[in-house]
Every structure is written in C-alpha cells, then in structure tokens.
Amino acid sequence: MQVDIRKLSIDDYDELATAMQNAYPDIEDNVWAKRNIQKLTSIFPEGQLCITVDGKLVAAALSIVVQYEIFGDQHTYDEITGQESFNTHSNIGNTLYGIEVFVDPEYRTLRLGRRLYDARKELCEIKNLKSIIIGGRIPNYHLYSNELTPREYIKKVRLKEIYDPVLSFQLSNNFSPLKILKGYLKGDVESEEYAVLLQWNNIYYTSKKNTMQDSVIRLGLVQWQMRHFKDIDAFYQQVEFFVDVLGSYESDFCVFPELFNTPLLAQFNHMHEREAMEKLAEMTEKIRNKISEYAVSYNVNIISGSMPIMEDGKMFNASYLCHRDGKIDEYRKIHITPNERRYYGMQGGNDIKVIDTDCGKIGIVICYDVEFPELPRILADQGMKILFVPYLTDTQNAYTRVRNCAAARAIENECYVAITGCVGNLPGVSNMDIQFGQAAVFTPSDFAFPSNATKGEATPNTEMTLIVDVDLNLLKELHYNGAVQVMNDRRKDLYETVNLLNK
C-alpha cells in the first residue's frame, strides 16, 4: 500500500467529488463546486492538501489564511469564507483557518486525518502563522440534544463519556475549545447548527512587524501643490518631504494625488499633448522605484497617486502601491474621461481586485472610477475596508462629483473612503492649467461615526497634509449591529454585481 500526501490540484476534482460523496452520504449538497476548488487552489495552493492511497484520492483538507482580528471569535462559516467566495483569504493574514477536512469511510482506519492535521500544523509553522482555528461540527449532538446542552455535551466528549467523530478527533490532535458557536453552519441538522471554535497555537510563532495588531489605521493624505520643478531631483525632494512628515507621524499610508508628477511636463510643452505625455511615461518606472525606496526607508505604505505608463503602444493611467516591505502593486484606471481620451489617447485598464496590505484589504480607484458604483461594490465584496481615491479635478463642480460619489461609496459599501487631489495653478503646461481640490476621509453614516460622515477634511486649495485615524472594528460593528446594514440587506435574489473577468 502506497500512501502519499500532496497539494490538491483542480485535476483531482472528479476523485475529490467522489470521496466527498462517500464521506457525507447523509448531507445534501455534500460536494464542493468545481469553481470553489479552482479558486482555492489558485489563491492558496499550499493550503489545499490531499492524500492518495495507491494513487486514489481518499482524503483532503482545505484551508485559507485570514486576518483573524477582523472576524473575532463570534463568526459564522459564511462570514469566515465570504459565503464560500474565499475573498476573506489574506496573503498577510495571521491565522490558518480550516474550512474542510474529510476522509473516505473506507480508509478511516489508516489514521489519514491525523496526517492531514500534522501537515496543517507544519504549514502553520513554515508560514509563521499564529494559530490554526477551526469551527468544528458536533455531528452526534442531535442524539443527545434533548437531555444535554451543547456545553454539557462538549464536557462529556472531553471526558470521553461520549464519542463525537469530529470533536473527539480534534481534541486528540491538541486543539483547545474556545467557545460554542450558534448558527455556525446553516443546514447542519446533525449538529443542530452548533459548532465548537477550536484553536491550536504555533509555539514557534514570532510577531511580525507592521501587521494589524489593533484595528486603528492611520491615513496620511497629501494635498499636492502644482508647481514647476527645475529638474526631477527637485520633484523627488518635494515627494520625500511629505513622506518624511507622514512617516514621522507613524502613518500607515501616505497618499499622493492623480497625475501629481505632471509638472514635469513643462519641459515638453512644445510637443503635442500625446507626445509630451509619452515622454512623461518614460520617467514613470524610475519615479516608482524611487518612491518604493522611500516607502521602505520611512516605513510607510505609499500610494503614488497615478502616473502615465506605456505598454504595447497603449497609454494607461496607473497608480502604484509601494508597500513598506518593498513589494509593489499596480492599479490601472478603468474609466477614462473624455478629456484623457481626447488629449492623450489613454485607455482603461481591466483588472479589478483588492490589495492585501499589512493593514488589511484595501482598494484603489482613480478619480472618475469612483463615479461608477459597481466598481467599489465589487471591491467591497472582495473584503475591502479602505478605498483610496487619488484624483485630479480642475473646477469645483468636477471636484464635487468626485467628493459626493466618494461619500456615497463609503455608505453603500460600509468602508472608509480617502480622497486627495492636486491644488493650485500650473501655467505653461498644456491642459494642466488650474486645479481645485480638498482632501477628505469619508465614513459610513451611523452612530459610531461623525454625524456628517466625514472623519476629516483639509482646507480647500491649500498645500497641506491631512492625517486621520480610522478604526476597522467600527466597520465590523456596523456590519452586524448598524441601524441599517447595507451589505447584508441587499436583495441578491433580484440583482447582483459581478466581476466578469472572475465569473
């Protein structure tokens, strides 16, 4: 007999489905959909494990990594898995969460479950995760529910007076019960929808710098004055000044406005607008790398406003998130204004995704993007808690569109929205003559937040910084206990917002 443990692959799906049907013969919808397995093996391949016996798949364990502080001990299976979308998975999370483990009954005498749990523990240690958390079913509870409370049942299982195939196994694998969860898994008749929250602690865990130890995140917004620079070094000096200031105030994010580097267009003002912007695009990689150096040096995540880039003869408006650990993420503006098309021939990007940071999941949209509510809604469904909107507006009415739409996005998506733009005038640069802006941070509108749903705002049309603390726990409280609960109360039976690229 040959027993092997390895990563699960989407090519294993047919055998996986058969093994699940054998493991759960009395449960309706007892097989994971293929799209679920595709998603899990794509976002976290090392967390999806299976065991084969003589080449036949007979057992599996599925897991995700979560930033556990966001969910806390009182959660349901739907909440922790994002209703099985797994958008709750975070590459910089601190907890391995077990979402499934099963063994084909024919092979349960081989103690394959223990092998899967040992492999999970090893993975937890390798990835330096704090713990493994499981919401464990108690499938034999229905046999005793008339005479025992869940707490009494668990006590008897711990004393081995009652055997429960799931809880007894988890206790024997050194998992400690934390609390009883009611309504954990809808439709779990055997457990009467109760579950036991269990934890295994990684004794080798070492705390990581800059992870979300608490829920308060400090945002630093730069209201950038348009001015002429004698050369690119003078531009860098001004950028570094603001990064230094916000870093010294221990900001988690430093945010610059859309196209904040366009003063460098002055040297190309004799050219056609498109040609001049192409020349500016040639500088983008160098500027991005310099800003990334600042992010590491000053220990602050920098959203580098936006800058033009060229790819295969096409021009895009791109924003970069330069993480303080040196990683760089890119977002390309999706909705292009008539002005950007007319003067620069810009095209829209196609990628809609949240970005994992050491402060949780964030989203970036650029200026005009925020006026399309579907886009931030998709990001919110992926777990976004803070939406950053660098913008560039020339007139007050243009700014008002961005501001009011950003405030609406905060309410309808139960998130924070931070906006910042350029101010002042830039004579001598075509199509960049005047600017109007006012940085602000918007909140949902409920009792835990300011009565005008504005956490902070800068003085209009003045170069300055705006520093604001936002508390992610308030968003969680709103989601479950708010006067209105927008994300929960949507009529998904009537409509939905879908990212067609990931459908």
Ramachandran category for residue 451: left, alpha or beta (phi over 0 → left; psi -120 to 50 → alpha) = alpha
Measured torsion, CA atoms of residues 290, 296, 301, 307, in degrees rounded to the nearest 10: 10
Contacting residues for 434 by C-beta, under 8 A, at least 6 apart: 394, 395, 425, 426
- The pairing of strands 131-137 and 95-103 is parallel
Tokens coding 459: 């003085």
Tokens coding 24: 């759960």
Q: Which residue in the block uniquely carries the two structure tokens 């990689």?
A: 285
Give the Cα separation of 275 and 258 in Å (integer). Answer: 19
Give the Cβ contact number of residue 276 at 10 Å: 24
C-alpha atoms less than 13 angstroms from C-alpha of 54 in its C-beta half-sphere: 3
The one catalytic residue in 39, 130, 333, 385 is: 333
Tokens coding 159: 């004393």
Give the Cα separation of 162 and 156 in Å (integer). Answer: 6
Contacting residues for 347 by C-beta, under 8 A, at least 6 apart: 314, 315, 316, 336
Which of helix, strand or coil describes residue 454?
Answer: strand
Measured torsion, CA atoms of residues 485, 84, 106, 160, in degrees rounded to the nearest 10: -30
The one catalytic residue in 69, 258, 340, 414 is: 258
Give the Cα separation of 41 and 325 in Å (integer). Answer: 26
Contact 405, 419 (CB under 8 A): no
The one catalytic residue in 322, 367, 415, 422 is: 367
The answer to whether residue 367 is catalytic is yes
What is the DSSP secondary structure assignment for residue 346, as one 8-state letter? B
Q: Which residue in the block uniquely carries the two structure tokens 């489905």?
A: 17
Tokens coding 92: 């910089």
Closest CA to 98 of 107, 110, 89, 106: 89
Catalytic residue set: 258, 333, 367
